[in-house]
Structure 1
C-alpha cells in the first residue's frame, strides 16, 4: 500500500510568506522531512520530537499547547508551511508579530483573552517540562507566583483577564521582555 505524501507549496511562495531564503527553506525542509517523511506531523509525533529537547522533564502538555499554536488550520496536523510560517514569526518577525504569536499560544481556548486558568496551565506545563531537578531547585509554588506576577503586571483594568491590547502594551513597555524578544534574531 502506497503512503500518501503531502507536498508543500513551491519555494518561491514560501520565500514570500516567510523571512527565510530559498537555501534556508531547503535546509529546514530536509530536517522536517527527515523527522516527518509523510510531509506533515500529527500531535503525537510532534510531542515525541519535542520531548527529545527536554529529556529531564515531561514536555507533553507544553508540546500540546505549542502544537495547537502551530496547527493554524485546526486540522490536527502541522504541514511544512504551517511550521515555517510560525518559525519565521518566532525567529524573525516584528516585535508585534512575535507578541501576537505568544498571545495566541497562551490564549488556549482562542477567545481573545488570557485567563488565570489558562496561564496556570501554561506555567505548570513549562515547569513540568523543565523537570524537577533544576538548579537552583524550584519551589512548588513557583508556577502560581509566576501567574500572580503575570496578572499583576498585565491585567491593567483588574478584570481578571488579559486582553491582546493589555498584553501588547505591557510587553512593549517592559525592557526585559523586549530584550528577550530579540533573543532569536540571529538564529539560523
Structure 2
C-alpha cells in the first residue's frame, strides 16, 4: 500500500496499544464537557484532517527523535484524541453544535499530561506548559496540531539535556522576558508548597526559600536567573532542573509510553 493512502498495517497495530492510554484521558475530558442528555444532543464525531502528506513524516523523521513507524503510531493517537474531544463538544443554547477544534485542545492536553505522563503538578505549571508548547506559526494560537505534537513529545521524552533545560526554563519564565525573577520564583514556589499547621506567615518561608534557590542559581549575582545562569546551575546540580515545579515526565513514565510505539 502506498505511504499516502493511510497508515501501514504495522504502524496501525503498534498504535492501537497506545491508544488505550489516551482513551482514558479523552473519556475524562468528555465527562466534564457533556451536559445531561435530556438537555443536550450529542453531536456525531467529526474526523479531523486527513493524514499529512508523506513529506511531513519525512521532515519529522529528520527533526524529531522518532522513526517513521513511531510517528505513524503517534498520528493515530493524535487523531483519536482529537476525535474524542470533538465528539464531546456540546450543542449551543439554540441547538446548534459549537465550533470544533481541529487539534488537541487545552483540556485534552492537560488530561494527557495527568493520565499518561503522571504530571500531577501545580495548575500554574500546567498552564505554562500549554502556553510554551508550539501552537501556530507565531506560537500560542489555538490547538496543538500534529507536527507540533510530535516535536513537543520528542523534546519531552527523548530530548537532549539542552532541550530539556530550554523547555523547563521557558515554563518558569512566566512573562517570557528571558529571566526568572524573584517574583516569578515566589509565585511558582508558593503554589507548590503546602501550608504547614501553625505557620503564621507562610509567605515568609517562601521568601526564605527563594533566597536559598537564588544563591544556588544566580551565577552572575545580578539578582535574577538568566538562561545561562540556569544552565550552569543545572550542570553543577542536576536536581535543580525542575527546581520550581515538575514540567517533565519521569523516566519511568516516558519509557512506558515509548514502549507503546515499538512493535513486539
State TM-score, norm by structure 1: 0.72
Deviation at 1:39, TM superposition (A): 4.9
Q: Which runs of 5+ in 1 are unaligned?
A: 133-139
1:46–1:63 contact (8 Å) kept in structure 2: no
Match of 1:31 in 2: 77
Match of 2:125 in 1: 62
Matches of 2:193 and 2:117, distance apart in 1 = 11
Deviation at 1:175, TM superposition (A): 4.8
Candidates 102, 127, 131, aligned match of 2:168? 102
Change (3 A) 1:99 1:58: closer
Change (3 A) 1:67 1:116: same
Candidates 210, 213, 221, aligned match of 1:150? 213
State TM-score, norm by structure 2: 0.54
| Equivalent residues in 2 for 1:1-188, closer than 5 Å | 5-6=48-49, 8=52, 10-37=56-83, 39-52=102-115, 59-72=122-135, 73-126=139-192, 147-176=210-239, 184=251, 187=255, 188=258
2:48–2:79 contact (8 Å) kept in structure 1: no
Which structure has the larger Rg?
Answer: 2
The structure where strand makes up a greater share of residues is 1
Q: After alignment, is 77-86 or 1-10 more displaced?
A: 1-10
Change (3 A) 1:91 1:149: farther
Matches of 1:34 and 1:145, distance apart in 2 = 46
2:219–2:232 contact (8 Å) kept in structure 1: no
Deviation at 1:5, TM superposition (A): 3.1
Q: After alignment, is 110-119 or 5-14 more displaced?
A: 5-14
Q: After alignment, is 19-28 or 162-171 more displaced?
A: 19-28
Q: Is the partner of 1:118 in helix, strand or coil?
A: helix
Matches of 2:156 and 2:117, distance apart in 1 = 19
Q: Is the partner of 2:144 in helix, strand or coil?
A: strand
Q: Which runs of 5+ in 2 are unaligned?
A: 1-43, 84-100, 196-201, 242-247, 259-264
Cα deviation, 1:91-135, whole Å, max 9, x if unaligned, reads 22221121112111111211111112223333345558xxx9xxx
Aligned residues: 174
Change (3 A) 1:164 1:184: same
Change (3 A) 1:85 1:167: same
